[in-house]
Amino acid sequence: MKNIIFLTLGIVCSIQLNAQDFSPKQQQRLDYLGLDYNYLIQQSEANEQKLWEILDMDRKRKNNLIMGSSFAGLGLLMFTGGNLIFNRTTCTDDELCEDLGAIVVGGGLMILGTFEVGVSLPLFISSIKRKKKRNKIIRELQAQYLLMPQQ
């Protein structure tokens, strides 16, 4: 009786593990990348892991690209605003600056904007590296299956 219970649990667990299909959005993304996922999965089980890896890299690439663009845009906006505030003050060599607050705020915004643009650069670089890795895996799959149906 105990063996039947373990056998039933094993079958149920194996069915659940193999039931990981691609969502319609993931299928659409694989189609866009030029991969026939049904054909590749039929050829080898290892191809399914590669397809999941491609989708994961693409998701991370997009996230880094979005975050990098956000930091770069916000950084440029802050730098420009700080520069405008900073340049409104009129200081000469003979007198002290009357608007010391504008200098501090403007300079602070310029420094913060420069920092944000600097943070965006590694995100852009990471996005480019992930895209290259993704494309390398795609080329390997396409070279392995030269007769893969085209979409």
Q: Is residue 63's pLDDT more than 90?
A: yes
Q: Confidence band (pLDDT; 50, 70, 90) for 147?
A: low
Q: Any residues with CB less than 8 A from the CB of 29 and at least 6 apart, and which? A: 55, 58
> Can you tell me the mean pLDDT for 36-42?
85
- Distance between CA 87 and CA 80 in Å, rounded? 11
The pTM (predicted TM-score) of the whole model is 0.71
How far are the Cα atoms of 12, 76, 100, 101 from residue 104, in angstroms, in the given order? 66, 18, 6, 5
Tell me which of 82 and 3 has the higher pLDDT.
Answer: 82
**pLDDT at residue 130 in the model:** 95
Q: What is the pLDDT of residues 110-145, one digit of tens each?
A: 999 999 999 999 999 999 999 999 999 999 888 887
Question: DSSP states of 99-134 as a string?
Answer: -HHHHHHHHHHHHHHHHHHHHHHHHHHHHHHHHHHH
Question: Quick check: 64 and 124 in contact, CB under 8 A?
Answer: yes
Confidence of residue 101 (pLDDT cuts 50, 70, 90): confident
**Residue boundaries of the structural domains of the chain:** 20-144
Average pLDDT over every residue of 40-68? 92
* Structure tokens, 40: 């590749």
End-to-end CA, the chain: 51
- More confidently predicted of 18 and 2: 2
**How confident is the prediction for the chain on average, in pLDDT?**
84
Residue type, 148: M
